[in-house]
Structure 1
Amino acid sequence: MTPIQCITILGSTGSIGTSTLDVMSRHPERFRLHALTASSQVELMLAQCARFMPEVAVMAQETAGRLLAERVRAEGLSVQVRWGVAALDEVACAPDVDAVMAAIVGAAGLSPCIAAARAGKRLLLANKEALVVGGDVFMSAVREGGGTLLPIDSEHSAIFQSLPDDPTSWQRRVQKIILTASGGPFRTRDPMTLKQVTPEQACLHPNWVMGRKISVDSATMMNKALEVIEAHYLFGMSPDQLDVVIHPQSVIHSMVQYRDHSVVAQLGTPDMRVPIAYGLSWPERIESGAAALDFQALSAMTFEAMDDPGHLRRFPGIQLAWETLRGTPGSCAVLNAANEVAVDAFLNRRIRFDQIHDVNRSTLDRTCFAEPVSLDGLLALDANSRAEARQSILRLHG
């Protein structure tokens, strides 16, 4: 009989969090909830507490936490409500917790992810930014804690499923990793018209249902830049062993090319419940709720080179992945901070879509730093990079 796993979900009100709850609800005999966490969506968190009855609910923001506590008491729910960064860290490393779904968007998820890693938890990493920012500091925490790090991003889950079981053989057997990218909503758009793109247009992904920030990242292809960086740390591959190809149908989620030039790929419908179910049940497989892939309904699977001149003009940010990986350690954290600030500014109509890359480029060029060797150092670098990114935005308006 499979033991019941106790789960904490960091970021339960986002798309990954809600999909995780959906998968878990299909297998009540396998999973129970310790904690749900969110930033500020009190009403959705209240509804999740009423339906799934976690032991603890944590809001990152104090005002939201106090409001949730009032609502939970009024509803008569037996859920402990807490708030703040320390509470996030504590539910990520609580003694009874077996696995942590890390789905907080952005660098805000770094601290609880490192807390879970140091505690030796099975860490299901859907928050690519935590690894992009954390880099070697994050991976050291995983090694020191002795836990298991499982990727949940569809691309990295596909790579993990396509690699040999023995990680010590990866460098010997693998020639390169190929991440696929849909190309987002502007794959065929005239690059000269991108300055006219609205937040609403950028958030309309052709294949995936995602939050606003990651949808914009997909539209700029910065999500793929961050995924290249994440793949470097997850799988120990050099920048030269990482490649990207555009695959508009999002059926092949990524590929591994071996030394003999054979290629192993993972295919499936574009539904995040598939990698979530795999991470929750690994090394087994359970029902995810996603539809099966119907090969007879596929009209074609096509591929386009990322280095096509048109794509390079549409998506200049993708090249920053290899640049930062080859740069001073910490450069990836600078890029992530700049991008978070730039995307927020675009969504709030303070900069144009095509200026997101300008902010990222300027922040990388102007931020001075030493290699961060601790969580505090990473957080300081993140804060300094955000300040520089905000200055870059001001210069655009100057």
Structure 2
Amino acid sequence: MRGVFISGGTGSIGSSALSVIRQNTDSLKLIGFSYNNNHEKAKEIISEFKPKYVFSNQLTDLDVPNQITDEDDLMEVFCLESIEFIICGVSGFEGLKSTMLASKSGKKILLANKESIVTAGSIFLESCKKYDSQIFPIDSEHNAVLQCLDTKSSNSEISKVMLTASGGPFYGMSMDQLKEITPEQAANHPNWKMGTKISIDSATLMNKCLEVIEAAILFKIESDKINAVIHPQSILHAMVTYVDGSSIAHLSNPSMEVPIANMLRGDNRISINFEELLTSERALEFFPIPHEKESLFEIASDVIKRQGNRGAIFNAINEVAVQQFRDSKISFLDIDKVIKGTYSVMPMSKLDSIEEVYFYDQEARIKSLEMIKSLSH
């Protein structure tokens, strides 16, 4: 039996992981999970899966053998022999703390939190190396790249890595139409079942910018070899083209259960329920990134080439802008203005510690709010 701990058990990644475990109870067992404040969902998970450990920042009335609120105790749980996989499913910069903790466990880390790579890439990767922790990406695009990489080839033999973006719910709309977009509309993704923030990131294409950065750092691929295209059907997730003209692509239905199941495997693949992928009625379409979004991808390229504190700054600005949009303080189109305007005035430097990541994250958040105030005047 292979033991699993889920950081962010009540979130969208957690729900997908639990579905995979539910379909493979003969080989997978939920040993524990963490959550924030969705107590009712936590109780449902405990009732069905009977985990031994639950971590939350506050004590609540949970029917579980071990309820943990201390991070040192959580670290002890991560290191238990009964746990083979730690799924890092907490979204946003908030997930960095638990991901860094997991990096010291010596376990297989199933990484969904792209912000850990974007904001603290070298520091996180060095910690994993120091403690012999292995990273397995479960973001659909990065898991797809991993499956497309030829183990007999080196990165120098890669000509291009293509990541796909659905384009979100507004692809093809005019700038005038986008002016009146509401947070509820932006969170309504046409293909994926995701949290509100990442759904809005998908609508702005900022999510794809972060994924391009993650791919470059995680797989050690030059930024000019990575590109993104719009693929409205969300079927082909990534394609790797080699110098001999061969291209290997990964296709699956838009479900996070697919990459999670792929990474929870042992020597053999595990089974999940899925619908037939390609039918005669389904066409696959690909379009270039809209011209008005190219400047965001140029910033992503700058983050890759220069790294240091740039990823932490880029991510923090976006998180502030998205939250302000959700709070109806700025418009949908203002999100890009805040990102580009704030990034251009932030001081850039190298990073030497995780403390500096948090420092520059806060600095960028402060500067972003100042930029937002200037937009309203």
Query: What range is the shorter-chain TM-score in?
Result: over 0.9
Give the structure-2-normalised TM-score. Answer: 0.94
- Aligned 1:197-236 pairs, distance under 5 A: 197-236=181-220
Contact kept? 2:9, 2:34, Cα under 8 Å:
yes
1:39 corresponds to which letter in structure 2? N
2:336 corresponds to which letter in structure 1? H
Partner of 2:84 in structure 1?
Answer: 98
1:133 to 103, 110, 119: 119
Structure 1 residue 97: deviation in Å? 2.1
Structure 1 residue 295: deviation in Å? 3.0
Contact kept? 1:89, 1:111, Cα under 8 Å:
no
1:333 corresponds to which letter in structure 2? A
Aligned length: 377
The CA distance in 2 between the partners of 1:5 and 1:44, in whole Å, is: 23
Q: Deviations over 1:322-341 (max 9, x none)?
A: 12222352201110111111
Partner of 1:164 in structure 2?
Answer: 150
Q: Is the alpha carbon distance of 1:233 and 1:87 closer, same or farther for their aligned partners in structure 2, counting shifts above 3 Å? A: farther
Partner of 2:10 in structure 1?
Answer: 13
Structure 1 residue 37: deviation in Å? 1.1
The CA distance in 2 between the partners of 1:365 and 1:95, in whole Å, is: 47
Partner of 1:188 in structure 2?
Answer: 172
Partner of 2:40 in structure 1?
Answer: 43
1:98 corresponds to which letter in structure 2? E
1:345 corresponds to which letter in structure 2? Q
Contact kept? 2:53, 2:64, Cα under 8 Å:
no
Is 1:326 aligned with 2:310?
Answer: no
The CA distance in 2 between the partners of 1:353 and 1:194, in whole Å, is: 7
Q: Deviations over 1:20-63 (max 9, x none)?
A: 0010011112122222111221111122122212112122xx4x
RMSD: 1.9
The CA distance in 1 between the partners of 2:209 and 2:52, in whole Å, is: 37
Partner of 1:336 in structure 2?
Answer: 315
Partner of 1:303 in structure 2?
Answer: 286
Q: Deviations over 1:281-311 (max 9, x none)?
A: 155311122223133342x1111122xxxx1
Is 1:363 aligned with 2:342?
Answer: yes
Contact kept? 2:105, 2:133, Cα under 8 Å:
yes
Query: What's the % identity of the aligned pairs?
Result: 34
Contact kept? 1:155, 1:254, Cα under 8 Å:
yes
Q: Which runs of 5+ in 1 are unaligned?
A: none
Is 1:33 aligned with 2:30?
Answer: yes
Q: Is the alpha carbon distance of 1:283 and 1:391 closer, same or farther for their aligned partners in structure 2, counting shifts above 3 Å? A: farther
1:180 corresponds to which letter in structure 2? T
Structure 2 residue matching 1:305: 3-state secondary structure: coil
Contact kept? 1:372, 1:381, Cα under 8 Å:
no
1:222 corresponds to which letter in structure 2? M
2:184 corresponds to which letter in structure 1? E
Partner of 1:53 in structure 2?
Answer: 50
Contact kept? 1:58, 1:87, Cα under 8 Å:
no
Structure 1 residue 205: deviation in Å? 1.1
Is 1:251 aligned with 2:230?
Answer: no
Q: Deviations over 1:130-152 (max 9, x none)?
A: 11111111111222222321110
The CA distance in 2 between the partners of 1:89 and 1:362, in whole Å, is: 40
Q: Which runs of 5+ in 2 are unaligned?
A: none
Moved more, 99-108 or 314-323: 314-323
Moved more, 259-268 or 48-57: 48-57
Contact kept? 1:278, 1:284, Cα under 8 Å:
no
Structure 1 residue 112: deviation in Å? 1.9
- Aligned 1:285-300 pairs, distance under 5 A: 285-298=269-282, 300=283
1:57 corresponds to which letter in structure 2? V
Structure 1 residue 344: deviation in Å? 1.1
